A = this chain, B = another copy of it.
Amino acid sequence: MGKVFVHATVTLDGFMADSQGGMDWMFGFDIVDKDMEAVKKVIDEIGAIVGGANETRTIEEGELPYGGSLKVPVYLMTHEAHEPVEKDGVTYSFVVDDIAAAVEAAKADAGDKSVSLLGGSISRQCLKLGLVDEIHLHVVPVLLGQGIALFGGLDTRITLERLHTAAYASETHMHYRVVR
């Protein structure tokens, strides 16, 4: 059975986006081949995705998880039922409120591969429910000062084990295991 991991690119102060959802801060930093390999290594492990409700809207706007490049099943949390959407070989299924069910379905789809959790709310809910096995962060060298935080409002203490840390150019790739 694969693992369930939180996967996010964050600022050093823990933001995934600025207060308006902007991500321009991600760009303009040196990236070397080894950075691309570190990200690819995580992505190659992904067999299914669980994302946030706000991503429902973005399918039509073309802002897809992993840019739509990952051809794996995507589960998106919503508050209202919605038919699955097929787009460029990816099935986007919508799950109403029950995040544990979404993770379970994603795990079944992922098989031996892992489930990637995207977004702060999804990640925090799954951390609280004890559904997360690992955390993969790519830390960009910027302080945003305010914005949408990955762990903000988690409100639960969670002990981790550091599995791997790597830094080549600007980013720091951090890999942790959740200790249960």
Contact = CB atoms under 8 A, between A and B. Distances in A.
A23 to B, nearest CB: 13
Interface in A13-40: 13-14, 25
Interface string A140-167: 0111111000110011111111100101
A174 interface: yes
B141 A145 contact: no
A172 B170 contact: no
Contact of A145 (B137, B144, B158, B167): B158
Copies in the complex: 2
A70 interface: no
Nearest to A163: B141
B167 A142 contact: no
Contacts of A159: 141-142
A127 interface: yes
A154 B13 contact: yes
B154 A162 contact: no
A145 B151 CA distance: 7
A5 to B, nearest CB: 14
19 contacts: A12-B135, A12-B137, A13-B14, A13-B150, A25-B157, A141-B160, A141-B161, A142-B157, A142-B158, A142-B159, A142-B160, A143-B160, A145-B151, A145-B154, A146-B154, A161-B170, A162-B167, A162-B169, A172-B172
